[in-house]
Structure 1
Amino acid sequence: MTDDSDFHLDWRLVRANFDASAARYDEVAVLQREVGTRLLERLDLVKLAPRAVLDLGCGTGVGTRALLDRYPRALVTGLDLAPAMCALTRARSRWLRKVRAVCADAARLPLADDSVDLVFSNFTLQWCSDLDRVFAEVRRVLRPNGLLLFTTLGPDTLHELRAAWATVDDRVHVNAFTDMHDIGDALLRARLADPVMDVERFTLTYPQVRTLMQDLKVLGAHNVSAGRTRGLTGPRRLAAMIAAYERWRRDGQLPATYEIVYGHAWAPAQKLVQADAGGVVHVPLSQLRRPRS
């Protein structure tokens, strides 16, 4: 039987899906916009005047533009794995000189060390296979005392759809998502300071399961696991899954649960010194202090 420990993302499929969905993404991204707005509001609680901001996983550029509106003096970079999403970000802010869009992998940021004051990431980390690498890259590009602020999806997301498919077969049909505590552990391993996380649950309703599945496809959020079933699902299996989903119908509607994990962490005030490949430690003069007598 397949379980979440066997789940691995196919990054090529992730990129292809979001490329294909870019043109219609904003039509159905209701939850993404609402959560993005709530994430932006959390910046009201911190004193931050960033010179450089990174919108990690910028999508169509909604958050990128909102970040520039909030910090008009900052250079805002939108970064996304999908070229079509980057193109929409450029189009949305084409008259704004302080916005740029870069197509790149979150685990290989094409940015200099200590070059960003704020990394903002809404609904992106769930599509990253290696959180350790992503958080290490975030820490690398953040300036001392820089802030990482993010949302991602927790394991309770789409539990109804996952359970309905489980009555049909033991194959991977729904993406797996990382538990909040495991995300916190990854932040600590990356030596990001004072991580704080909390969870909020949203329930969207649909008249039919097919409507939910269509929305997931437009969002680029349908099954992107390396262990997914290849080819089309047979009509009998699909019909059996749809019938199993009916157990959750209330007041004529079918629910789809989303577990939203909010988190933030800070770059340390001083970058920790590490040894190079030869075991030699390089210490900046700025970190040397004469011992007190």
Structure 2
Amino acid sequence: MTIDKRRLAQNFSRAASHYRQHAALQQAVCERLLERLDLFRLQPTRILDLGCGTGFAWKGLRRHYPRADIIGLDLAHGMLRESRRGRWWRRERLICADAERLPLVSGAVDLVFSSLMLQWCAPPDRALAESLRVLKPGGLLLASSLGPDTLKELRAAWAASAGSAGSPPQGMGQSLPFVDLHDFGDALIRAGFSAPVVDVEHITLTYPHAPAILRDLHDLGTGDARVERERGLIGPGRMRAFARAYEQWRRPDGTLPATYEVVYAHAFGPRPDTRPQDGSTVAAFPFSALRGRRGIPS
């Protein structure tokens, strides 16, 4: 599968002006990721916010590291333009570029922070390798991505409606090849990171009906950006069949769920004498297992 980067940037740029109104999940995951900075003793002088979008992370990064320089990088120029309207944009340097081809010198930053961007790099190996390259030795990568249970109800309902007329809606007929936590950890090791740790969380958003889920995804700019995407309009019969199929997940409170599997990861840029050897492993466990350990808040 190949991502059409130009189309991806266009999708998000078109959504930029109203992105914050629909990005409840993105904001929540960003806040959870920022909370994890408390686990590390860092004093970064330069931070790369990789896939910064409209700048959700900047307030929290400033709170943790008021003296650090922040570089906001995103593929979508419209997102960067919108970020300048935010109250937390101050002196952040903004770069419109591809995460798989970072226009930064090696060893340029102490922290790479990336919230819900890496799922758009399929697979994430090249973006992770570039993140490692721009990290100083011993620097930290703190990231979140989406796992394979993401939108499982939607994908099942669309598959169940396959007998009806019409073509798949953008991004719904075939999903991105979401990487699970084990494969994500393996990708970190392949990239050359040291001491990777990954864990997973499931978050459920609720909606009044199935079309509202599709509208929300469209308004977020998450249309199909695959080169191999299917073209065509959605027939009304297919949409009705999709909505009927989704009803099997109707909850007692009258809402429909949309599940997201969020994969969290951190890893370090190895120092010259600590490059991982063959046979390295990745620690994978629930984040709750960390709480109560010495130095980690309960």
TM-score, normalising length: structure 2: 0.85
- Is 1:19 paired with 2:21? no
Q: 1:74 to 1:260 in 2, by over 3 A?
A: same
**Aligned partners of 2:59 and 2:88 also within 8 Å:** no
Which stretch has the larger CA shift, 88-97 or 187-196?
Answer: 88-97
Distance 2:64 2:94 in 1: 18
Residue in structure 2 matched with residue 133 of structure 1 by the alignment: 126
Task: Tell me which amino acid in the other structure corresponds to 1:173.
Answer: G
**Aligned partners of 2:83 and 2:89 also within 8 Å:** no
Distance 1:84 1:37 in 2: 23
Residue in structure 1 matched with residue 272 of structure 2 by the alignment: 270
Cα offset, 1:183, TM superposition? 1.2
Cα offset, 1:63, TM superposition? 0.7
Identity of paired residues, percent? 51
Residue in structure 2 matched with residue 261 of structure 1 by the alignment: 263
Which stretch has the larger CA shift, 8-17 or 165-174?
Answer: 165-174
Cα offset, 1:90, TM superposition? 3.0
- Is 1:178 paired with 2:182? no
Distance 1:229 1:220 in 2: 17
Task: Tell me which amino acid in the other structure corresponds to 1:48.
Answer: L
Cα offset, 1:174, TM superposition? 4.3
Q: Which of 121, 130, 133 is equivalent to 2:114? A: 121
Consecutive unaligned residues of structure 1, counting only runs of 5 or more, are 1-6, 274-293
Distance 2:59 2:82 in 1: 11
Residue in structure 2 matched with residue 143 of structure 1 by the alignment: 136
Q: 1:250 to 1:81 in 2, by over 3 A?
A: same
Task: Tell me which amino acid in the other structure corresponds to 2:268.
Answer: W
- Is 1:225 paired with 2:226? yes
Cα deviations by residue, 1:74-124 (Å, 9 ceiling, x for unpaired) = 110000000011112233368623x11110000000111101000000010
State how 1:207-222 maps to structure 2 within 5 Å. 207-222=208-223
**Aligned partners of 2:48 and 2:112 also within 8 Å:** yes
Cα offset, 1:271, TM superposition? 7.5
Runs of 4+ in 1 over 6 A off after TM superposition: none
Distance 2:245 2:3 in 1: 26
Cα offset, 1:222, TM superposition? 3.2
Distance 1:235 1:179 in 2: 34
Cα offset, 1:13, TM superposition? 2.0
Q: Which of 49, 54, 73 is equivalent to 1:55? A: 49
Distance 1:93 1:103 in 2: 20
Residue in structure 2 matched with residue 240 of structure 1 by the alignment: 241
TM-score, normalising length: structure 1: 0.86
**Aligned partners of 1:175 and 1:225 also within 8 Å:** no
Cα deviations by residue, 1:37-68 (Å, 9 ceiling, x for unpaired) = 11101000100000000000000012134212
Residue in structure 2 matched with residue 249 of structure 1 by the alignment: 250
Consecutive unaligned residues of structure 2, counting only runs of 5 or more, are 276-298
Residue in structure 1 matched with residue 95 of structure 2 by the alignment: 102
Residue in structure 1 matched with residue 65 of structure 2 by the alignment: 71
> How many residues of Structure 1 are paired with residues of Structure 2 in the alignment?
266
Cα deviations by residue, 1:118-153 (Å, 9 ceiling, x for unpaired) = 000001001113411111111110001000000110
Task: Tell me which amino acid in the other structure corresponds to 1:215.
Answer: D
Residue in structure 2 matched with residue 112 of structure 1 by the alignment: 105
Residue in structure 1 matched with residue 3 of structure 2 by the alignment: 9
Distance 1:129 1:198 in 2: 20
